[in-house]
Structure 1
Amino acid sequence: MPPPITKPALLLHLLTETPAALSFLFAPTAQLPGASPDAKLILRNLGGLLMATNLVSLVVLFTTRPEEEDDKLTAMICVCLGTYHVWPLYRAWARMMRSGRPGQGQEKKVLGGPVVHFGVHLLCLGALVGGGVVALLGY
């Protein structure tokens, strides 16, 4: 049996996405100032989706027995959740590139700003996909 590497990755996802989910659900204009009512609904929808990924993580974290800790399903869930983090990485990269351009003004830093987002989501991507792949290869 491979070492228990998927649970820390799932915990990292949970700790990263809980503040984001709450922000999108309860303060969508912090994410997108001046958002239209329809845009706020879309942002809240994203918050709900993030909360659902957190619930999946919680279920896996607290319902799998130690001897099943890195079973194939858990490993595949990690890989799937990891692929999500590509898109926040892309968003953070675009925000970092945009903030250096003249006339763009200073962007409001929400939950650490784009540099922090980039680093955290890169870590999540690596932990989830890497941990999932290593666990799958161990079978």
Structure 2
Amino acid sequence: MILAKLPFAIHALVETAAALSFIFNPEKQLPGCNTAAKLILRQYGGLLLSTNLICLVILSEPNFTDTTRLLAAALGTYHIWPCYRAYVRISQNIEGTGKGKPVLGGPLLHLIVHLACFGMFIWTSCVS
């Protein structure tokens, strides 16, 4: 069952970078955003960090339970939304930074990473 916990470790790594970006550089996620938008983006970064805490709890548990499967399904379905965001950014040629280097690899890398996370979590939710 160690392999079934791999998505939780990967999620914690991937979302830590994203969370820190939303918290410390919200204007790179939404160029020209006002103070209210920055607060929302920082709040979202905090939410991502809380999902990492859930992942760390799962990783520290010795047993693979039905609760682990349900949390995998929940975290997997979350990844639909970053996939959608990346797809729209690609299809409409929208860059998050407005100028310069794309944030954390840009939308194509985001799509690939979040599709992989989605697939791994859904697989984990189905493991018996």
TM exceeds 0.5? yes
- Deviation string 1:59-115 (CA, Å, 9 cap, x unpaired) is 1112x11xx1x2111111111011100000000000001118xxxx87851000000
Q: Which residue of 2 aligns with 1:115?
A: 108
- 1:123 CA displacement: 0.1
CA 1:77–1:14 in 2, change beyond 3 Å: closer, same or farther? same
Number of equivalent positions:
125
Matched, 1:50 2:44: no
Alignment of 1:5-16 (within 5 A): 5-16=3-14
Equivalent-residue separation in structure 1 for 2:99 and 2:122 (angstroms): 33
1:1-139 equivalences in 2 (<5 Å): 3-62=1-60, 64-65=61-62, 68=63, 70-99=64-93, 109-134=102-127, 138=128
**What stretches of structure 1 of length at least 5 have no aligned partner?**
none
Could you say what secondary structure the match of 1:29 adopts? helix
Indicate the RMSD between aligned Cα atoms, in angstroms: 1.7
What is the percent sequence identity of the aligned residues?
Answer: 46
Report Cα offsets for 1:39-65 as digits up to 9, x if no partner.
Answer: 101101110100000010011112x11
Query: SS at 1:5's partner residue?
Result: helix
Distance across 1 between alignment mates of 2:83 and 2:99: 20
How far apart, CA to CA, are the structure 1 residues paired with 2:33 and 2:55? 30
Aligned-partner Cα distance in 2 for 1:107–1:9: 31
CA contact (8 A) 1:99 1:107 kept: no
- In 1, the alpha carbon distance for the partners of 2:37 and 2:101 equals 18
Q: Distance in 1 between matches of 2:108 and 2:82?
A: 11
Residue segments in structure 2 that go unaligned for 5+ positions in a row:
none
Rg larger for:
1
Q: Is the 8 Å Cα contact of residues 6 and 78 (structure 1) preserved in structure 2? A: no
Amino acid of the residue matched to residue 70 of structure 2? M
- Opposite residue 108 of structure 2, the aligned amino acid is V
